[in-house]
Amino acid sequence: DKIIPIQGLFYPIMLEDKSLDIVVASSSMHHVDNIEVMIKEIDRVLKDDGTLFILNETPYNSIKYFKLVTRLIGSIMVDLLFRRYRSVSKYISSSGCLYDPYLGDKAYPLWYWKGVISKSGFIQNKIIKTPYTTGKKDKRGIRLTHFICNKSFL
């Protein structure tokens, strides 16, 4: 009875500053347009001793991320070469890529997750790599990972 689910946009979070003890983001952060903005917004609504649980994400190691980006570049180049119109399309940046524009799935390397969490005012207490994968054909071998973070006291 103390849990209040809220449905809405990722940000802004329509809650008062420092009003929550815990935030759980399960299988959702890879859909956010800007993870850093999202985590800073979570920081705003969490109490000073609050905890953020980021569950069921799939951070890529550097080699798998490089391979994914290389495949996407090839796909984008073929579309350019043949002038294929796509109403929604994949995109790539140095820190993340939208590989499934229909579901909004983005891939991020582990180094990006670590950097954005610490830059946004959190300390990673624990990273738990589970033995489970998403089961999606295109992500075989990417294990679900949990990040347990507390607010940093600077």
Q: Kindly report, residue by residue over 43-78, the tens digit of the pLDDT.
A: 999 999 999 999 999 999 899 999 999 999 999 999
For the cut 70, the answer to whether the pLDDT of residue 136 exceeds it is no
Q: What pLDDT does residue 141 have?
A: 65
Distance of alpha carbon 95 from alpha carbon 128, whole angstroms: 21
Sign of the four-CA dihedral 96, 38, 57, 109: positive
Whole-structure pTM value = 0.84
Count other Cβ atoms within 10 Å, centred on residue 99.
Answer: 20
pLDDT 10s digits, 96-117: 899 888 888 899 999 999 999 9
DSSP code of 15? Answer: S
The answer, yes or no, to whether residue 14 has pLDDT greater than 90, is no
Judge contact between 60 and 113, C-beta under 8 A. no
Q: Which of 20, 16, 35, 14 is nearest to 106 (CA)?
A: 35
